[in-house]
Chain A
Amino acid sequence: MRFLENTVGRKIVIAVTGQLMAVFAIFHLLGNYFNPYSMKFPDIGSFIWLARLAMLLSFGLHTFFGIQAELENHKARTGPYALKKSISTTFAAKTMIWSGILSGVFIIFHLLNFTFSVIDESFQDNYAVALGYTIGLSAVCLHLYHGIASFFQTMGWNSEKSLSVITMAGKGMALLLFAGFICIVVLNRV
């Protein structure tokens, strides 16, 4: 249990679970453009259940440790500076807690909407829902703008030279995901 009490241990849990969900998002996007059910995957059914279980677990751990870290970080600061300049951090990095909460709400909404069909308004015929999807997708991609690359730093999977390349690639990937998903909303809406 010492692993989960250590600041680096918990950071690794946040990074791994986050990246698992990011990888899922990538496949999810591809699945929207190329229907996986039409391809001949052996036994995709049980694989999907495994993936769902992994996602549920990741979602829970990521949320728990993410919020815990944020609360501790808040306590670690004292009063704001009268003047404070940010030099290298990004808007995305500074708003992880908010983009994270919004993403969580959005994912739950999306599941109720598509997977469980509890909410049966779709973005195809409801402007408000389409707007909700746009905001939700923006939050997810803003979160990934910092998150994808951050994973590699947390795991130590970089070097003196590759750090900046990985950071750029992570940001690029987040933007690509945004473009891919938003196209689905826009194209189905218009």
Chain B
Amino acid sequence: MNLTLFVWRQKGPAEKGRLEQFNAKDISPEMSFLEMLDTVNEGIIKDGKEPIAFDHDCREGICGMCSQVINGVPHGPQEKTTVCQLHMRNFKDGGSIYIEPWRARAFPVIKDLIVDRSALDRIIQAGGYISVHTGGVPDANAVLVSNDDADAAMDASECIGCGACVAACPNGSAMLFTASKVTHLAMLPQGQVEAARRVCVMTEAMTQEGFGNCSNHYECQAACPKGIRVQFIAKLNREFIRAQFKGARRESPQ
């Protein structure tokens, strides 16, 4: 396959970026999108120029590093698929592909397609954990969890923190990410103790990091490579309302 790429190039966080055109020649349809970029980069390096900087790690769809908006959709055209798991057979030979970084105030561009997503980590640090006593490993099934709850918690925990939901959101909100974390723990008995505080501090951390407010566009769900559903945001909202009656503030250890 031969393709024309329009890739976002930006030297650093404070620099102005622009789209640069590249020709990707002799691309195999079986290549992954990142392998295609590797091939293009080899050509660029041979020409003695600066290769395209992009994030990646596992290349098997579980780490959430490969953050690229491809032809206007975070993670590209295939549903529930990360960029690393996207194959070139999904593109038309001779076509052109736009590749851009996640664009959100809370995700500053480090270089080219690489953005700093540590704002998501700080949302987790605010309350995305449970406090447990250390010591011996608890017996299996000592705490009973219904199958439905376990399934829902498992679904919510599938979030890989990639940030595609933010990239897709017209408001630059990280509500789907935050909701998946809140739901994951709220479904389980172990998460109950800090539930009221968690939902408040995590949503506040989200705002502090500069993410926008959710207004129910549902673009996040459409872009999420892990199928996290907006129903989890409804669950977060219920948790927030419940927290108001539980005096979440007074329980706060801060």
**Real binding pair:** yes
Q: Which residues of A contact B (CB under 8 A)?
A: 2-3, 5-12, 69, 72-73, 75-89, 93-94, 96, 146, 150, 153-160, 163
A10 touches B213 (CB 8 A): yes
**Pick from B71, B103, B210: contact of A85, CB under 8 Å:** B71
> Does more than half of chain B's interface fall in helix, strand or loop, or is it mixed?
mixed
A89 touches B233 (CB 8 A): no
Cβ distance A61 to chain B, nearest Cβ, rounded Å: 15
B240 touches A8 (CB 8 A): yes
Collect the chain B residues with CB atoms within 8 Å of residue A81's CB: 69, 72, 100, 103
Binary contact track B74-111/A, C-beta < 8 Å → 1, others 0? 00000000000000000000000010100111100000
A7 touches B216 (CB 8 A): no
A94 touches B217 (CB 8 A): yes
Collect the chain A residues with CB atoms within 8 Å of residue B168's CB: 87
B241 touches A12 (CB 8 A): yes
Instruction: Given A78-B104, A94-B170, check contact A3 B215 (CB 8 Å).
Output: no
- How many B residues touch A, CB cutoff 8 Å? 50
B105 touches A77 (CB 8 A): yes
Cβ distance B22 to chain A, nearest Cβ, rounded Å: 15
Collect the chain A residues with CB atoms within 8 Å of residue B217's CB: 88-89, 93-94
Collect the chain A residues with CB atoms within 8 Å of residue B241's CB: 12, 155-156
Q: Name the interface residues of B98-139: CB closer than 8 Å to any CB of A.
A: 98, 100, 103-106
A163 touches B234 (CB 8 A): yes
Complex alpha-carbon distance, A78 and B100, angstroms:
12
Complex alpha-carbon distance, A160 and B151, angstroms:
13
Collect the chain B residues with CB atoms within 8 Å of residue A153's CB: 216, 230, 233-234, 237
B98 touches A6 (CB 8 A): no
**Pick from B203, B218, B235: contact of A7, CB under 8 Å:** B203
6 more A-B residue pairs beyond the given contacts A75-B212, A96-B215, A150-B216, with a C-beta to C-beta distance below 8 A: A6-B207, A11-B214, A11-B237, A76-B105, A87-B219, A153-B216
Complex alpha-carbon distance, A126 and B216, angstroms:
39
The residue of chain B having its C-beta at the shortest distance from the C-beta of A84 within the complex is B72
Complex alpha-carbon distance, A8 and B215, angstroms:
10
The residue of chain A having its C-beta at the shortest distance from the C-beta of B175 within the complex is A7
**Pick from B171, B200, B223: contact of A87, CB under 8 Å:** B223
Cβ distance B199 to chain A, nearest Cβ, rounded Å: 8
B212 touches A156 (CB 8 A): no
The residue of chain B having its C-beta at the shortest distance from the C-beta of A86 within the complex is B219
Binary contact track B142-168/A, C-beta < 8 Å → 1, others 0? 000000000000000000000000001
Complex alpha-carbon distance, A96 and B171, angstroms:
12
A88 touches B222 (CB 8 A): yes
Collect the chain B residues with CB atoms within 8 Å of residue A12's CB: 237, 240-241
Collect the chain B residues with CB atoms within 8 Å of residue A157's CB: 234
Collect the chain B residues with CB atoms within 8 Å of residue A150's CB: 215-216
B237 touches A155 (CB 8 A): yes
Complex alpha-carbon distance, A182 and B73, angstroms:
38
Collect the chain B residues with CB atoms within 8 Å of residue A75's CB: 105, 210, 212
The residue of chain B having its C-beta at the shortest distance from the C-beta of A69 within the complex is B213
A160 touches B19 (CB 8 A): no
Collect the chain A residues with CB atoms within 8 Å of residue B6's CB: 82
Collect the chain B residues with CB atoms within 8 Å of residue A7's CB: 203-204, 206-207, 213-214
Cβ distance A11 to chain B, nearest Cβ, rounded Å: 6
The residue of chain B having its C-beta at the shortest distance from the C-beta of A89 within the complex is B217
Collect the chain A residues with CB atoms within 8 Å of residue B221's CB: 88
Instruction: Given A69-B215, A88-B222, A153-B216, check contact A6 B73 (CB 8 Å).
Output: no
Complex alpha-carbon distance, A3 and B243, angstroms:
10
Complex alpha-carbon distance, A69 and B215, angstroms:
9
Interface status of B11 (Cβ within 8 A of chain A): no
> Mind listing 26 A-B residue pairs with CB under 8 Å?
A6-B207, A6-B240, A72-B212, A76-B105, A76-B171, A76-B172, A76-B212, A77-B170, A77-B171, A81-B72, A82-B19, A83-B72, A83-B98, A85-B71, A86-B219, A88-B217, A94-B217, A150-B215, A153-B237, A154-B216, A155-B237, A156-B235, A156-B241, A158-B234, A159-B231, A160-B229
**Pick from A8, A78, A86: contact of B103, CB under 8 Å:** A78
